[in-house]
Structure formats: structure tokens, C-alpha cells
Amino acid sequence: MADLTLLYQTLAKPLTQVSLASVLLVLILASYFILSFTELSLLRKTYNACNEYGKFAYSCFLKPHTGDGSGGQQAALESFYKTQASIYDATRSRLLQGREDMLALVAAQVRHRVETGKIEHKPIWVDIGGGTGWNIEQMQEQVDVPNFFHAVYLVDLSTSLCDVARERFRRLGWHNIHVVCQDARAFRLSDYETGADGTKAQFSIGKSVYDEQSGETIGADLLTMSYSLSMIPEFHSAIDSVTHLLGADGVVGVVDFYVQNQVEFQSRNYMGGAIDRHCMWISRVFWRTWFELDRVNLESARRDYIEYKFGTILSTNRRCHLVGFRIPYYIFVGCAKDSSTSLQQLAALDASVTESPFISALDLHSKSANKPRRDSTQERHSKAFESAVVNLAASLPLPSAYYQNNKTRIYYDETLQKHRQFNDEYIYAFTWEDSRTDSRLLKINSDDVILAITSAGDNILSYALEGPKRIHAVDLNPSQNHLLELKVAAYRSLEYQDFWKLFGEGKHPDFHNLLMKRLSPHLSSQAFDFWLHNGAPAFSKGLYFTGGSRHAIQLVQWLGKLLGIRQDMLRLASAQTLAEQRDIWFKRVRRVLLSRLLAYFVIGSERFLWKALGVPSEQRAMIEEDFKKQAGQEPITAREGGETSGVKSGQAIWNYGVQTLDPVIEQTLIGEDNHYYLVCLLGHYTPRSHPTYLAPRSHARLSSSTSPLTNLRIHTDELSEVFARMQRASLTIAVLMDSMDWFTPGSEAAPQQVKAVNAALKMGGRVLLRSAGVSPWYVKVFEAEGFSAKRVAVRGLATPCTDRVNMYASTWICTKVGEC
């Protein structure tokens, strides 16, 4: 009573009344202005959004989900979804990320199987835990759902969500969609689909639909689980059941939340990619506890069991960015782990290992029965074969390389430190060796089997245009091979216009969609994972401004802007004659790019040489040694004048740069015929000046059904390891670039590698070498191990420019003339 009296006295005061009236007036005026300048539709949207997210917050964070007390899963699901079924789609668009990407990936895989004849009928799709049918409607962005699929089955245990789904498909008018409110463990395609003879398919849990004893072999061609696996309590039996729904050539796609420690997966060789898979301790504890409140389970065993039951085609780890938080989720695309295709590949490998761990059907067919059988003690096996044998013995899926549509990329263990040392970055975004010179020196024909260092893959593609029997691309850095894989996948899936944007201009505004919808069926899981994480940024700022080589290009462009010669550089790239090009170079550009100060303190530093140009300390030592010899014989004069005094590293590098760049400017026209330096000046190629592989006729050749790229094998390992596992006398050409410069003089490693090269080469086989040294020390090693060596180019007064790159002091051809 006293409180009411006090309130009445307060309100009776004139000052209080005036204050309240003022506040009320302000509210009325504010409401008037808001209503006057705001459309009613926007107000309705705001109200609806507040209402939807209010229901979402109440259902997810406040309302208990005990169901009807029976402890049943369906009752618990209804308790969770009934109050929010109508607003489920509107409130999940930002939380359940990755669904569109998963659908794009599986659609691309199924489309590829249909186009190549692996699936000869209209596909059947089963969406486990499909909820409101959002996934199925969204799939219309990828394929024409009513016409592409024979039938689509949405299986979900929540009656409220199934009601929403039925209404959705009535509105869309799609008649091949079947909504089944049922436990996924009890769902059987045989209850809905009939076989060719009019009888229902006969199969059950524990029995594969493709059992040879079964009368009918019908199965799902696509099986998806979108944020449903984490909500199934008995997930082992659920996964076992849906495994038997999948057809022999079917595809499974899963997207869901997860948390995992790297200790749990670091020894696996079949998971197909580990970028960002590890979750920090606080993330594992917080998200697992938080999601358990809504009966969502994030323990890693669910994902692990999926990877155990299926073969991995693609796998990636992402983060859902929501209100400042990063929630881990994954996308998995797989297939039957014991598919006949992978087993046939393994059998071919076991039957006859020649120069490759994968043997083409043509090679097997060409081995006639009357040929003498090789001594089994001479058989050599690849690491891919050995890892597959280990997995089969342990009933594990094969490494993901075995489940790819194209068996181009050979298995490697990405967790090894020798691969991880590159920190998921390539050094070279473009290749520095002159492919025209290679073609002239090697004279490649259809009988040649070539092994070459991958680098950026440009030369590999140039060799392919010559039509050799097989090419083996080798690089220890996985990212360099990822770049080559991307180029090969682009040939197989893209029209020339998109191909040119990617690798000619180095930019593409829609790379993510290209990767998901068109490139993904032709990439290994590791390469796909790499480009999903790095591709969009790379092709946004420019491919040739990425990788270690970006430092050199960025330095050139930064100096051009800082010192006011950027326009001169552009003029250099567009010069019409050599005379015009020389004039621009010697008057303006040379004094900046060949500055002694720059060479001494920046370019000459060991860190810059390695990070930007890929020059190791051993190669740098060769440059310095040659400089010492030249300085001891005669004074070194340059166009800037002056005589050397003392031997400094910076002086040696500066002199090397002079001998490299001056002849290039004097003898090659950059804008017309020297794309190697054009890309350094512009950051992209032009239709007039570009690598051979970027020509329209090259695209037509390498994208055809008879493309030589079908005979390409990509190895991620040391050269010595690959040579050691090659069948003896199986190669005709080995292109080692400047890799021998990396060996330490006097070490045992160089002779061992030369012996391995000798063993792998046929008699008369050739080795192409380039070196930063005029007379590299290891030439004598080749001569001592059964080779004759010939220097086919050397920089000097007679031939100042050895090729369009002119980056190396000498070029050598070593021919096998005897066994070592």
C-alpha cells in the first residue's frame, strides 16, 4: 500500500507529468517518421524475421526436448521440430553451410557417370534425413530434378518436417519425389522400386544389393545425408543400412558438423585430404557440449565410420562463420569401397608393373601370351600398390587415388614432413624452361616414355602435345602437382574461353562454381581440397601473383611504380621491334632491374633466391664459383662499365643477371615471342604471347577423347624414389631440369640418383639437364655411370642467348651408352 501511495505522489508532480508526456511525444514522432519513410513490406519482413528467429532461439536454446517421455528418437525429433517446422528453412540458411557445395559436387559426379556410361539409366536419389525437402529443391540449380532423376526418395523421421516437404513438392508440381516418414535403418528401395522383370528387388541389411546371387541389382545412384548423421543416435546401424542402398557405381554425399583431433587421423592413408581437419581443444570441447543440448552429436566416430564404409572420392574441411564464431563442418563425397573399378586397377598393377604404378588396358592387351614371363624377383611395386595391399589386409578402404574418375594422380602420404615442408604453397606458378628448345633437342615421338619434373606443369603439357606413349610428372612439392592437376582437369571439363581466363589471364570471377560443378570430377581429393581453400583468392588477385615466384613479380612491379618506370615496363611488353625494345630497356628499365644495390642487398640474399626464385644454396654456390673463375681469368666489364673488385655474392648474382637479361632483350621480342618475361612484366599472358599449351589448337588437342593426357601419371615423391621403383629400361627420356644443381658436390646422393636414372633408361635413352654452372661437377658423375655427355648450349660471346629464357649457363644431353 505504501508503494502505491509513493507512486501516486510521484506521478502527481508536474515535472514528472511533463517528462512522461515528452517521452510519449518522442515515441509518437519517431513512430510517425518510421512509418512514413518505411515501406510496409519491410516492416512485415522485420516482424517476420524477429518472429522466426524468436521461435528458433526458443526451440534450440530454451525448450527441453524430452519428447513424450518414452525416450524414442521420433518423439524427441518432433519435440524439437514441431514448433519450428514452418520456419526451419528460413532460420538454417546461415547455420547449415556447405549444403549447396555438397549438392554441386555430387551432382557433378553423377552427371559425369551418366555422360561416360557408368550409369546407363535415369538415376535414383535417396536423401536420408531430408527434412523439409530444401536439398531437393536446391538441386534444381544443378540438374533438372523432375527429368534427370527417375525417382527421388526423401526419408525422414520427423512427421512435421515431412508435412512441409510434401507441401513443397505439391507446390512445385514434381511427381517423381516420394516423401517417406520412416527410420532410415528400415527404409528399403525394394518396397518402392521394381526390377526389369517386374518383381521387387530382393535385398536386406547385411546383404549387398549387388550380390551376384541376388536376382535384382537395383540400388541408389545418389545417396545424401545433409546435417542428419549427427542427429542419429544409433549411427553405426544407420550407416550400415544406407551402405547397402548404394549402387555399385553410385555416389554418396555427406555434409555435417564435426570436431576431431589430428592424433585420431594422422596415420590414415585413405581419407583424401587433411587441410584444416584438426580442431583446437577449446573448439572440440565447446562445440561438442553446446550441440549436445539439442541432441546433436559431433564426436568424430561418425565421420570416421563413414570414411571406413565408403571409398573417398572427395573430402574437405570447412568452417561455418556465424556471428563471429567458426563452427567446423566437413563435406564428404564417396562411393562403394569395394567397387569393381578400383579392384580392376589394383589387379592391373599387381599383374604387371612397368614404368608406372598404373597399367592401361592397352598395355595389358599388348602383352601376348607367348611372350616369356619375367622373373618375379625383377618385379617392382609402387608405394600406391604397397599401401593398397596393407589396406586390403586390414579391411580398410583403398587410398582415395583409387576411387578417382581419372587415375592420373598417384597416391602419396601427405602427412610426411618432406611434403609438409612446403606449407601448402607452390614455388613456381609458371615454368621457366623453354619448351621450344626442349622439343628441338629431344625430338619426342609416339614411342617415347618421358619422366620430367613437374614444376608448374607447362612443359609437361607441351610434351603431351608431341604425343608420347606416356609421361611421368614428378615433384616432391604436392602443390606443384596440384597446379598441374588443375590444368589437366580444365582441359577435360572447360571450354577454351574459361580455360584462357584461368591460365592466360590468371583470373576468373567464378572459380568456385567452376571448381564445384565442372572441375571436381576430374581432380584427386587432395588437389580438390587445395583449390577449394586457395583457388578463389588466387584467381581473384591473379594466379601469377601467387606462389613463391610472386615475390619476384611483385618486386618488379613495386620497383616500377616506386621509381616511375611502370609505363616503360608496359611499353617494353608491347614493343613492336627489337630496336624499340632495346631502346626502352637500356634507357630506362635496365638501370632499375639490374641495379647493383638491388642485387647486393635483395636479390642476392639467400632467402630471396630460395623463396622467390627457387635457387638453393648449392646452386648459388655454382654461380659464385663460375664468377670467381671468370674474374681470375679476365676483368668482367658490363654495359654500365667498371671492373669487378673482390668476389661478393651480390656481385656474382648481379653478373649472372646481366648475362641472363641483356641477351634476352637484344635477341627475343617479349611482346611477340617471349612469354616467360612477358608474364613477369604484366602478371598475365596475351593472345599474342603465351605458352604453347594455351593455344586454341592445343586446347582442342588435349581436351579431345583421344587426348595424350590419358597417358599422364603424376608422382609426388623424390626423383630417386620414382626412378628406383621404375621397371628397368622402361624410359626413353628423363628431363631433370636443374635438379642436379641441388646436390652437394662429393655426396653419395648424386651418384645414387645417376645410377637409378641409368637403370630406368633404355639403351640410347637421353637425359636433358640445365645448370647454373658452365661446366657442372656432376657431368663427370654421369660419364662414370654409363653416359656420354654433350653440352648443347652454353652462354658466352658466341651464343649469349641459349634460349628464350636464358636463365641457365649451360644445357646438356646425356645419352645412355652402357650399364652402370
Would you say 789 and 812 are in contact if contact means Cβ atoms under 8 Å apart? yes
Question: What mean pLDDT, rounded, does the chain reach?
Answer: 81
Would you say 420 and 477 are in contact if contact means Cβ atoms under 8 Å apart? no
How far apart CA 652 and CA 621 sit, in angstroms, is 10
DSSP code of residue 38: S
In this predicted model, which residue has the larger pLDDT, 726 or 690? Answer: 690
How far apart CA 820 and CA 803 sit, in angstroms, is 32
What the block records as the C-alpha cell of 132 is 523439409
pLDDT tens digit sequence for 727-772: 888 899 999 998 898 888 888 989 999 999 999 999 999 999 999 8
Helix (H, G, I), strand (E, B) or coil at 676: helix
The confidence band for 538, taking pLDDT boundaries of 50, 70 and 90, is very high
Residue 571 has, within 13 A of its CA and on its CB side, a CA count of: 17
Q: What is the pLDDT of residue 639?
A: 39
Would you say 594 and 585 are in contact if contact means Cβ atoms under 8 Å apart? no
Domains plus CATH for the chain? 36-95 (no CATH), 96-192+215-337 (3.40.50.150), 341-363+380-403 (no CATH), 550-682 (no CATH)
- Mean pLDDT, residues 97-112 taken together: 95
How far apart CA 398 and CA 276 sit, in angstroms, is 22
Residue 178 has pLDDT above 70, yes or no: yes
Q: Helix/strand/coil (H, E, C) string of 295-318?
A: CCCCCCHHHHHHHHHEEEEEEEEE
Q: What is the pLDDT of residue 364?
A: 38
What the block records as the C-alpha cell of 458 is 607447362
How far apart CA 241 and CA 186 sit, in angstroms, is 8
Residue 221 has pLDDT above 60, yes or no: yes
Residue 72 has pLDDT above 60, yes or no: no
Helix (H, G, I), strand (E, B) or coil at 81: helix
The confidence band for 637, taking pLDDT boundaries of 50, 70 and 90, is very low
How far apart CA 446 and CA 459 sit, in angstroms, is 17
The neighbouring-strand residues paired with 225 are 128, 254
Would you say 296 and 231 are in contact if contact means Cβ atoms under 8 Å apart? yes
CB contact burial 353-367 (16+ within 10 A = b; e otherwise): bbbbbbbbeebeeee
Helix ranges, 38-175 (H): 40-57, 73-81, 88-92, 99-115, 134-138, 145-148, 159-172
Q: Which residue has the cell 651418384?
A: 751
DSSP code of residue 727: P
CB atoms within 10 A of CB 374: 13
First-last CA distance in the chain: 111
> Which residues contact residue 508 at a Cβ distance below 8 angstroms, ignoring those fewer than 6 apart?
498, 501, 502, 514, 539
Q: What is the pLDDT of residue 214?
A: 39
Q: Which residue has the cell 627457387?
A: 614
Would you say 118 and 94 are in contact if contact means Cβ atoms under 8 Å apart? no
pLDDT tens digit sequence for 782-811: 999 999 999 999 987 677 788 999 989 999
**Cα angle value 769/454/457 (rounded, 5°):** 115
The confidence band for 781, taking pLDDT boundaries of 50, 70 and 90, is very high
Would you say 106 and 253 are in contact if contact means Cβ atoms under 8 Å apart? yes
Q: What is the pLDDT of residue 679?
A: 92
How far apart CA 441 and CA 452 sit, in angstroms, is 15
- Pick from 552, 543, 540: which is nearest to 677 by CA? 552
How far apart CA 132 and CA 128 sit, in angstroms, is 12
Residue 702 has, within 13 A of its CA and on its CB side, a CA count of: 29
pTM of the predicted structure, to 2 decimals: 0.84
CB atoms within 10 A of CB 593: 19
Which uninterrupted H or E stretch holds 527?
helix 525-541
Tell me the backbone φ, ψ of residue 269, rounded to 5 degrees: -115, 10
The neighbouring-strand residues paired with 793 are 811
The neighbouring-strand residues paired with 319 are 328
Would you say 295 and 67 are in contact if contact means Cβ atoms under 8 Å apart? no
> Which residues contact residue 579 at a Cβ distance below 8 angstroms, ignoring those fewer than 6 apart?
none
Q: What is the pLDDT of residue 290?
A: 85
**Cα angle value 450/455/459 (rounded, 5°):** 50
Tell me the backbone φ, ψ of residue 409, rounded to 5 degrees: -90, 130
pLDDT tens digit sequence for 10-61: 666 676 666 667 777 777 766 666 656 555 565 465 555 555 445 554 555 4
The confidence band for 625, taking pLDDT boundaries of 50, 70 and 90, is confident
How far apart CA 300 and CA 303 sit, in angstroms, is 6
Which uninterrupted H or E stretch holds 783?
helix 779-784
- Pick from 238, 89, 84, 79: which is nearest to 155 by CA? 238
